[in-house]
Amino acid sequence: MNRITLIYKGRQYEVPNAWERLTTDDYLCLVGLLEQLQAGQLSVGEVRMHLLCHMMHWKLYRFRTEEQIANLLMLSEQITFPFRIVYPDNNAALKGLTDEDYRLARRTDPYHLRHLPAMAHLCRQDYHYETDLCFFAQLIPTLKVKADNNQETELQGYRATTADGSLSCSLTALQYIEAKKASAQSPALAAAILYTPQPYDSATAQQLVTLMAQLPPLTLKAIIMNFEALNAFLFTKTPLQLLSQFEQGRARSITTDMADALYDLCADGVGNSSEVEQLNVITYLRLLRKKTIDGVRQMHGAGMDLAKIANETGLPVETVAKMI
């Protein structure tokens, strides 16, 4: 459910219950709260209460009595999108639940699952919450930075939507590859890459690094988290998840570095180096997926058994079996 309806003091309100529904201000607030959670300064319940108060424009300090705080906690527990519950042994305790009850149990504290016969069993489990950072949206579409002349400049970020049920993203292949590499090393560089105007150019991105370094650390953190969420969505919620299944380790015959794979497309006749660099990232990743499947099927056609193909490609045997 992307939105939830709350009744407070006889009035009805609607608040977002999905990352994609957050405003930029809501998103930045939540990123700050998650930082405090990670530092041990807030609990999951407190994060929810603070977020609800922010979205409703309430002052938390005004909730003074035990009854008021209990009501606020009850309302805030309906905001389920930021977290999911993890049970031991890969959620073994949830085995046998219907799909609907499984999804509910991954979002709702077991003490509130009174309709489930397994409630008591789940309450005894050593479960924990983790941030569910997986969505496909651009929650900071523009940035305002000050140039050397002290003039404020607005930079447009990349676009990312799932409108009409199809993925749409304005990042180019080279921009995506460079941002992915930079995100783990330099948030300012990654932000510069992600907010470089099209057509993407590495040199232009480098020129923006100084401006990005002036941004508040929380904003840089939010930009990186947004990009990480986009990656998580691509590689867990779409057919592109195949590209995340390669075993880490030594190089295999059809698995190469993403940058190398980009320029391999030149040899495949997709275009020259400049043209493949400007490929849309979704198109690029789909080409990589197709090349992987074609390579596996060629090996199978040449008489290789599944185990050898799996060893050669670094893919799990069961994944190889599905492709042929």
Residues 228, 247: one domain?
no
Distances 89 to 97, 118, 134, 322 between C-alpha atoms, Å: 16, 17, 22, 26
7 falls within a domain: yes
The pLDDT-based confidence of 260 (bands split at 50, 70, 90) is confident
75 and 87 part of one domain = no
Same domain, yes or no: 35 and 59: yes
Which of 323, 322, 258 lies closest to 296 in space, CA to CA? 323
Domain range spanning residue 261?
A: 243-323
pLDDT reading at 248 higher than 80: no
Instruction: Determine the 3-state secondary structure of 18 from DSSP.
Output: coil
Q: How far apart are CA 317 and CA 241, in angstroms?
A: 15
Establish if 293 belongs to a structural domain: yes
Asked whether residue 136 is assigned to any structural domain, the reply reads no
**pLDDT over 60 at 315, yes or no:** yes
Question: Does 219 share its domain with 248?
Answer: no
Q: Is 89 in the same domain as 76?
A: no
Q: CA–CA distance from 281 to each of 157, 237, 241 (Å)? A: 15, 16, 14
- Single out the residue in 209, 236, 263 at which a domain terminates: 236
Q: Does residue 16 fall inside a structural domain?
A: yes
Please tell me what DSSP assigns to residue 22. Answer: -
In this prediction, residue 220 carries a pLDDT of 98
Reported as a single tens digit per residue, the pLDDT across 35-56 is 999 999 999 999 999 999 999 9
- The reply to whether 224 and 149 lie within a common domain is yes
Q: What mean pLDDT comes out for the span 271-294?
A: 95
For the chain, the domain total comes to 4
In angstroms, the CA 172 to CA 283 distance is: 9
Q: What is the mean pLDDT of residues 89-118?
A: 95
Of 255, 266, 258, 248, nearest in space to 293 by CA: 255
Answer for the pair 16, 135: CB distance below 8 angstroms, yes or no: no
Same domain, yes or no: 263 and 314 = yes
Q: What average pLDDT does range 303-319 have in this prediction?
A: 91
Output the DSSP codes for 78-92: T--TTEEEE-HHHHG
Q: Which residue, 130, 163, 190, sits at the end of a domain?
A: 130
- The β-bridge relationship of strands 152-156 and 142-146 is antiparallel
Q: Mean pLDDT, the chain, as a whole number? A: 93
Percent of the chain with pLDDT over 90: 83
- pLDDT tops 70 at residue 184: yes
Tell me, yes or no, whether 18 and 92 share the same domain: no
Structural domain includes residue 135 = no
Inform me whether the pLDDT recorded for 250 exceeds 60: no
Whether the predicted pLDDT of 255 surpasses 60: no
- Same domain membership, residue 203 and residue 168: yes
Question: Is the same domain home to 55 and 90?
Answer: no
- Do 228 and 178 belong to one domain? yes
Residue 154 CA to residue 304 CA, distance in Å, equals 55
What does pTM read for this prediction? Answer: 0.92
248 and 291 in one domain?
A: yes
Give dist(CA 47, CA 30) in Å, integer.
8
Domain boundary among 215, 236, 257: 236
